[in-house]
Amino acid sequence: MPQAPAARLSRTRRTPSRLSRALGWAAALALALNVWWGLWLSPPAPSGNSAPPGVVEGQFVRMLYVHPAVATMCYVGFGICALGSIAWLWPRTRSPRWDRLAVAGAEVGAVFCAATLVTGSIWGRASWGVWWTWDARLTLTAILFALSLGYLALRRAVENPHSRSVLSSVVALLMALTVIVDHYATDWFVTLHQGETLFKPDPSVYGWQLATMIVSFVAFGLLGAWLIVHRYRLEELEERYGSLAFYSAVVARRSEGSSLQAGLGEPAGAVGFPRLEGGPSGAVPTRAVAGGEVPEAADIVEPAGLAGPAAGPAAGGNGQQRVGMP
Amino acid sequence: MWRDAALVAGKDLRIEGRAKVSLNQVGPFALVVLLLFGFAFDQDRPLLVQAAPGLFWVAVLFSGILAVQRSFSVESSDGAIDSLRLSRLEPAGIFLGKVAAVAAQLVVLEALLAVGVVVLFHSRLGGAGLLATSAALSTAGVAGAGVAYGALCIGLRARETLLPLLLAPVLAPVVLSATEAWRSALGLSSGDGWRWLALLGCFAAIYLAGGSVGFGALMEEA
């Protein structure tokens, strides 16, 4: 019986659409182009005495085609999370869409943040000789990752959708503060991490390197957008079908209770099974979900195996189940 | 608001005075943490002296989390938080009162830990002005952020594990700044310790102001 909502979900709606499929293919193509240009077409940077100061040397330049783009997408993800949270907290713009966007941004941002730490660590090992060093940029990124894990854990811990949105929005704003400090860490603190490479009057990269770096930003940007779109839709489906599963469980439990009552010949309510208000009259119990989207009655009665007790009042089944009622 | 804060602080400290959880459990825990640091560094006494400020503030962080958890566990049992919500006390007053009570317990713990650091790690305390000012600002920051996050987690099933996960990264700037200020005060670094006080002051001000404004909403939602 619990599989019924999942079965219905697979029949009705999934996360892809025509547009998101196109986005996914575009991201895959751009990533393939990034790999091809980054590993084969783009030459290694000059090294040794011929290398200009402040420029990434030799083969390490290939990290430029992954790490900055991934780190930027980490910031973009947390930025979207902060924007969604502010828009949700602002009474005039409050909508469950903003909350979904916030969680999608945070989760994708956390994935890119982990990728930033891993790729940065590999780069650090190659250029500084250590996997990790106590540098302001590195440490703040690690703190940001821990904060994002806390944000996601908080969202899972709060059951009430409204409370979840309020509490997680507050934590998201704090995360945004850390993103800003992290971004300017190379300017504000003495740090080993190099500063701006691209967006400065005299960029340190040019030619093939610059072109491949731009491709990497496009590729990871498309990948991030694709992930956010899917995560947003997944959240929407979770809200809808999570409620449906809840109702299914309640109805199944009531069904068990009714069967037992029928078997024992005792009055309803005497065997200690929980009963919801409105149950005997057949009214569907309401439950607040994010954005006030209460599943339709048709959604609740449709899954196979649930039709008996839920459809009972309409079919007169409720009276049959309550054998022994005075 | 201040009267409400004094009432709540008095109530929390009275409960603490009767239950003596901080004195009998959190204090000994903080000292055990110091002992464990000693075991971890083994016989390397110069390293222990060098690292003493950092170890001290990490021990304060752990103890602070426990103190905040305790401060809200007394509210969550027997539905006391609902009474607090219905008491018509100003939310800002409740927040500041709880901050004051947690800060008072932390000051006692810090004094205890300072004695522990001197006795166990052979640190020589100096630069009393810088030590005391940075400790006061750090305590305000730890208590302010701790109570704000404690209110956020109070109604959650997994609050015992979630609070440290949320609070520890947030308090990282306090641990960093307070450690640097103490290193300077103890003559372990040549940097100017007073400039770290600006960061500590900003942190404490942001959390005390933000917590005072948002505590009502947090209590309603938690």
Is B170 close to A147, i.e. CB distance below 8 A? yes
- CB contact set of A78 (below 8 Å; sequence gap of 6+): A105, A106, A109, A113, A144, A148, A172, A175, A176, A179
How far is Cα A300 from Cα A5, in angstroms, rounded to an integer?
9
User: CB–CB of A146 and B158 under 8 A?
Assistant: no
The torsion angles phi and psi of A45, rounded to 5 degrees, stand at -75, 155
Q: Given pLDDT bands bounded at 50, 70 and 90, which one contains residue A305?
A: very low
Q: Taking the complete model, does pTM exceed 0.80, yes or no? A: no
Q: Which residues pair with B180 in a beta bridge?
A: none
Structure tokens at A309: 């007790």
Report d(CA A93, CA A265) in Å as an integer. Answer: 55
Residues of A in contact with B165 (CB under 8 A): 146, 149-150, 153
Nearest to A158 among B156, B168, B217 (CB): B156
Is the pLDDT at A130 greater than 90, yes or no? no
Number of alpha carbons in the 13 Å side-chain half-sphere of residue A58: 8
**Is the predicted pLDDT of residue A231 greater than 90, yes or no?**
yes
Nearest chain A residue to B158 by CA distance is: A157
Predicted pLDDT of residue A244: 78
A271 pLDDT higher than 70: no
Residues of A in contact with B156 (CB under 8 A): 154, 157-158
What number is the average pLDDT over the span A273-285?
Answer: 42
In the three-class reduction of DSSP (H, G, I as helix; E, B as strand; rest coil), residue A58 is classed as strand
B214–A150 C-beta distance less than 8 A:
no
Residues of chain B where predicted confidence (pLDDT) is lower than 70: 43-44, 222
CA distance B149 to chain A (A): 9
CB-closest option in B152, B162, B168 to A170: B152
Do A146 and B222 count as a contact with CB atoms less than 8 A apart? no
Chain CA centroid to CA B125, Å: 21
Residue A322 has pLDDT above 50, yes or no: no
B214–chain A nearest CA distance, Å = 9
At residue A217, the pLDDT reads 94
CB contact under 8 A, B165 and A170: no
Q: By C-alpha distance, which of B111, B89, B109, B112 is closest to B101?
A: B109
Report residue A286 as tokens: 């309401």
The dihedral sign for the CA sequence A168, A174, A176, A178 = negative
8 Å CB contact between A44 and A52? no
pLDDT of residue A201: 59
The rounded Cα A20 to chain-centroid distance in angstroms is 16
Q: Is A167 close to B152, i.e. CB distance below 8 A?
A: yes
Residue A43's region, left for phi above 0, alpha for psi from -120 to 50, else beta, is beta
Shortest distance between the Cα of B177 and any Cα of chain A, in A, equals: 13
| Among A2, A235, A221, CA closest to A104 | A235
**What is the reported pLDDT for A286?**
44
* pLDDT top residue among A268 and B103: B103
Given a cut of 90, whether residue A72 has pLDDT beyond it is yes
Chain B environment of A163 (Cβ under 8 Å): 155, 221-222
The torsion angles phi and psi of B142, rounded to 5 degrees, stand at -65, -45
Enter the tokens of residue A111: 């994935």
List chain B residues with CB under 8 Å of A170.
152, 214, 218
CB pairs under 8 A between A and B: 48
Contact between residue A102 and residue A154 where contact means Cβ atoms under 8 Å apart: no
The pLDDT tens digits for A31-61 are 999 999 888 887 776 666 655 555 556 777 7
Predicted-assembly ipTM surpassing the 0.90 threshold: no
Confidence at residue B71, expressed as pLDDT on a 0 to 100 scale: 86
Q: Which residue has the higher pLDDT, A94 or B124?
A: A94
Q: Of A109-123, A193-207, A214-228, B179-193, where does mean pLDDT reach its minimum? A: A193-207
- pLDDT for A27 equals 94
Of A147, A160, A162, which is closest to B169 when you measure between CB atoms?
A: A147
Position A7 pLDDT exceeds 70: no
Enter the tokens of residue B87. 């008491």
- Chain B residues within 8 A of A154 when measuring between CB atoms: 152-153, 156, 162, 166
Q: Measuring CA to CA, how many Å separate B183 from each of B50, B54, B175, B188, B189?
A: 8, 8, 12, 5, 6
DSSP H or E segment with residue B181: helix B172-185
Per-residue confidence (pLDDT) for residue B80, from 0 to 100: 80
Question: CA of B171: how far to CAs of A184, B142, B152, B167, B200, in Å?
Answer: 20, 7, 16, 6, 10
- The span from the CA of B169 to the CA of A322, in Å, is 57
- pLDDT at position A243 over 70: yes
Q: Are A240 and A295 in contact (CB under 8 A)?
A: yes
Please give the angle made by the CA atoms of B186, B188 and B192, to the nearest 5 degrees: 80
SS3 state of residue A140: helix
Return mean pLDDT, chain A. Answer: 74
Residue A110's pLDDT band (cuts 50, 70, 90): very high
Distance from CA of B206 to the nearest CA of A (A): 11
pLDDT value for A4: 54
**What beta strand segments (E) does A3-146 contain?**
none
Per-residue model confidence (pLDDT) at position B52: 86
Amino acid A30: pLDDT: 94
Tell me the percentage of chain A whose pLDDT exceeds 90: 26
How confident is the model at residue B151, as a pLDDT?
Answer: 86
Segment A309-321, tens digit of pLDDT: 443 343 333 433 3
Considering only the beta carbons, identify the residue of B159, B169, B217 that sits closest to A166: B217
Closest CA to B196 of B211, B167, B175, B210: B175
Q: Assess whether pLDDT exceeds 50 at residue A291.
A: no
Question: What's the pLDDT at A226?
Answer: 94
At residue A303, the pLDDT reads 42
Strand, coil or helix: A158: coil
Contact B162 A153 (CB under 8 A): yes
Closest CB to B162 among A157, A166, A170:
A157
Whether residue A325 has pLDDT greater than 70: no
Using DSSP, state whether A88 is helix, strand or coil: helix
The minimal CB distance from A149 to the residues B156, B165, B218 is found for B165
Confidence of residue A216 (pLDDT cuts 50, 70, 90): very high
